[in-house]
Structure 1
Amino acid sequence: MFYKPIGPNVAEVRNAISLYRTLHATGGQAPIWALAENYRFEPGLLKASDLVRDLGDMMAVEVIVELPMEESNPYFSSSWRRDSSFPGGFMLDGGVHFTAGLRLITGSEVKSVMAIARHVDASLPPPDNVSALLQLENECAGVMVMSYSSRTRKVSWRVVGSRGTVEVERGINNGQHGYTVTHCPAKGSPQADFFPFAGVQEELKSFVKDVAKVVFEGKSSTEADQCSSVVEAFRDVAVIEAMLISSQTKGGAVQVEHHT
């Protein structure tokens, strides 16, 4: 298992996946290549995904990320996030998580983006802020705003449908970190439930099960859990890269690559 992001850009990720697939083509058993992107295993986000399916026509999507990357943060001084060969810095490193959440909750791929990125805090690698307009493949439009130089904290996904709204917000409940999932149906009373963080544990359980299936049951590594697959990780990187490219063109529309 490898940690995210799968690579610094789409081109390098595509080459790595192509090389990995040659291992399968030789006829031998290729190793399981799983990416530790725990958001696709978070119970709260999975619950939200289930609720969104019953919202009817999806009309609007909003992702808000305000995460101060201060010196007290253990990730602040990590050298590889500041390396010039890793364009995007914290925006790419963290952005793939929030993109994974977006894609999971909406059940739709991001088709294109129009974005403006800024570099505000000189102590952080550029960019540290981005605001993007998203066009999903289901024809719904949305916005995604990420700031690592903010002084406030908020992480949320909100989906508005013809039959109600579902919102997920990170927070603390009785000393536990997790997500509050609020479902506001068009008819009936709002329902809010709290789900403690469990994505890391769940992804590790999934990986161990996949290894056991290959070792003890003769399964192929291609049958591993798709939630941690290289294709899913590729698509997360592709969305963030499209935002950065769009910003370089002063907000021009950029198509997001989906295929590997």
Structure 2
Amino acid sequence: MKEPCFQQIEVDISLKLLKAGKHVLQEKPAAASISEIEKALSGYNSIRANVRGQPIWAVAENYRFEPAFVQSKKLMAEIGDMMSVQVIVEGSMNSSNPYFSSSWRRNFTGGFIFDMGVHFIAGLRMLVGCEVVSASATTCHVDKTLPPPDIISSNFQLENGCSGVFVMVVSSRSPKACGKLIIFWRVVGLKGTIQIERGNQNGRQGYTVLYYTADGQCKSFFYPFSGVTDEFKTFIHDIQEAKKGNGHEVEPRLSYIEGARDVALLEAMMESGSKNGALVHVKKF
């Protein structure tokens, strides 16, 4: 009998806690597959119908709370109609990385691409503000010390008709990538362009936001990391408001559904890769 992966165990524990009336903030990803998510949501809906207090099930996805994404999302209205979206990730997952030996990250389909990829998908979805409807991808497995795949290149289409690319490499040996991640999100609009890139300023790690206007100007903003702190604060606030019984609406960025949508998109890309680039429609939640 196949041993359950860490994500399945985490979901099972979360459901037991929710059934006991406890609020849960679960680590990402929401689950290891769409089929597991469907079972989890069915269980959660049953719990909500039978447990008093409407226990909150949240997924800890700090990218949706990083100030760089929150502020860039506000700037999106300034760049006009979207014409192109790019997400590029280059990392070096080797023995010097503390996550390299994490056995549970190797026990589900997609390995490090899946485990880390949901972060970058969350950033993509947060920034563009609409869903991806389909994807076509190729995957490769070059570094045999890593679980497959270690490279994914995907074309995708948003529901607003705009297309984009998602490229992620976790086995890079580039000197710039050793020991850190090279990553950026770039949205080209009719009236301007927004780019978010990982970096540091004055010894602080965070994101630089570049806003290119139609007249050739470039504005730059730096936002230190604070997504983890902000998501915890929001979760605590939601619990406090829920206790009051005033019909408070839980912050949607924390919802299990949002985490499910991240998984659905990444799974569609990997499914396409296993089918030699066949177009795959993203499961809707």
TM-score scaled by length of structure 1: 0.95
Please say if 1:39 is aligned against 2:76.
Answer: no
Deviation at 1:55, TM superposition (A): 1.1
Tell me, yes or no, if the aligned pair for 2:48 and 2:55 is still in contact at 8 Å: no
Counterparts of 1:248 and 1:189 in 2: how far apart (Å)?
43
Please say if 1:236 is aligned against 2:236.
Answer: no
Counterparts of 2:204 and 2:256 in 1: how far apart (Å)?
31
Tell me, yes or no, if the aligned pair for 1:67 and 1:149 is still in contact at 8 Å: yes
Please say if 1:75 is aligned against 2:102.
Answer: no
**What are the Cα deviations for residues 178-206 of structure 1, in whole angstroms up to 9, with x where unaligned?**
00000001025210000000100000000
Counterparts of 2:112 and 2:77 in 1: how far apart (Å)?
31
Unpaired stretches in structure 2, ≥5 consecutive residues: 1-24
| Residue pairs, 1:112-123, within 5 angstroms | 112-123=134-145
| Corresponding position of 2:281 | 255
Tell me, yes or no, if the aligned pair for 2:84 and 2:163 is still in contact at 8 Å: yes
Q: Which amino acid aligns with 1:256?
A: V
Secondary structure, counterpart of 2:149 in structure 1: coil
**What are the Cα deviations for residues 133-163 of structure 1, in whole angstroms up to 9, with x where unaligned?**
0101110000000000012241100000000
| Residue pairs, 1:1-260, within 5 angstroms | 1-26=25-50, 28-83=52-107, 86-151=108-173, 152=177, 153-187=181-215, 189-215=217-243, 217-219=244-246, 223-259=249-285
Q: Which amino acid aligns with 1:115?
A: A
**What are the Cα deviations for residues 76-127 of structure 1, in whole angstroms up to 9, with x where unaligned?**
11111111xx111111111111001001111111110000011111111111
| Corresponding position of 2:4 | none
Unpaired stretches in structure 1, ≥5 consecutive residues: none
Percent identity for Structure 1 against Structure 2:
48
Q: Using a 3 Å threshold, how does the CA distance of structure 1 residues 219 and 94 change in structure 2: closer, same or farther?
A: farther
Counterparts of 1:30 and 1:166 in 2: how far apart (Å)?
39
Counterparts of 2:254 and 2:242 in 1: how far apart (Å)?
16
Q: Which amino acid aligns with 2:231?
A: E
| Corresponding position of 2:21 | none
Tell me, yes or no, if the aligned pair for 1:39 and 1:45 is still in contact at 8 Å: yes
Counterparts of 1:146 and 1:171 in 2: how far apart (Å)?
18
Counterparts of 1:57 and 1:110 in 2: how far apart (Å)?
16
Q: Which moves more between the two structures, 151-160 or 168-177? A: 151-160
Counterparts of 1:118 and 1:4 in 2: how far apart (Å)?
24
Counterparts of 2:94 and 2:246 in 1: how far apart (Å)?
45
The answer to which structure, 1 or 2, has the higher relative contact order (CA under 8 A, 6+ apart) is: 1
Secondary structure, counterpart of 1:250 in structure 2: coil
Secondary structure, counterpart of 1:54 in structure 2: helix
Secondary structure, counterpart of 1:223 in structure 2: coil
Tell me, yes or no, if the aligned pair for 1:88 and 1:126 is still in contact at 8 Å: yes
